[in-house]
Amino acid sequence: MKIVVTGGAGFIGSHLAGAFLEAGHDVVVIDNLSSGKAGQVPGGAVLHALDIRSREASELISSERPDAICHHAAQMNVRHSVEDPVFDADVNVLGFLRLLEAARKAGTKTVLFASSGGTVYGEVAELPTPESHPTVPVCPYGVSKLTGEHYLEYYHRTYGIRYVALRYANVYGPRQDPHGEAGVVAIFSKALLAGSGARIFGDGLQTRDYVFVGDVVRANLAALESSWCGAVNIGTGTETNVVELHALIRRVTGVDIQPEHAEAKEGEVRRSVLSYDLASNVLGWKPMVALDEGLAATVDFFRSRP
């Protein structure tokens, strides 16, 4: 099978490109390298340094005629989406729609879509949150991801393209970007290993569901081979607040520096933890890597890269 991985030079995308290659697929990567790194693209995959919004990216889909697209290129910063919702929509909605149109014309049969279980539901009444919960996002990033899901459902009903919208919890692990606002595990790990204090926004009692990147890769492989079509949560069912997370990473790094607190971010939900019951039923998937084990692997990665 030929698979195009957008964002394939980034954190999750590069892991997926490698896994698809190991499974025997042909892999083509599209990444504008704004945050991804060419050195992370696995050998055997062909990298095209293109923006998904460009005409060249659509033309590449037309010429490659992939069997599947695994879409991970995105504007993924919640805070930036609040500050510049037009840019967020330009990348996450219009950029994705251009790819979908090219895929339709090229005869692509399957789309795996990186959605966001942490933002599409908004403030929730049920924890762990199932896919049946109302989706009322409170930030533009969540709106753009949910819009992508709606377009996928349209393309499925109208053109027969099967899709799986993987509603990720907070993904962490080796290769995560420790710069900017996204990727709190990487940010805390890098700061503590450098001997400096990390910053917690608000009181730090906001909770998140942290899922290891290796488990996310397994979910995508299962989704590719399944017959399931629709949205599915990819999380652990366990919530951890930010203060607790910082304490865990302090213990793993062996660096006992207390965090600083800053003003809370706009657009952040208070609690987020996902039910993975549907993923277990339709994909045969469940998380395998415990948080302490995944944090140790992540810290080891950053420790080896001063």
Q: How far apart are CA 280 and CA 30, in angstroms?
A: 30
Closest CA to 217 of 283, 148, 300: 283
CA 60 to chain centre: 23
Q: How far apart are CA 265 and CA 58, in angstroms?
A: 35
Would strands 207-208 and 240-241 be described as parallel, antiparallel, or unpaired?
antiparallel
List, in sequence order, every beta strand (DSSP E) within 97-195.
110-116, 162-168, 170-172
Alpha-carbon distance values, 279 to 14, 20, 219, 291, 302 (Å)? 23, 20, 8, 19, 31
Which residue of the set 141, 155, 172, 210 is catalytic? Answer: 141
CB 253 within 8 A of CB 297: no
Q: Is 172 a catalytic residue?
A: no
Which of the residues are catalytic? 141
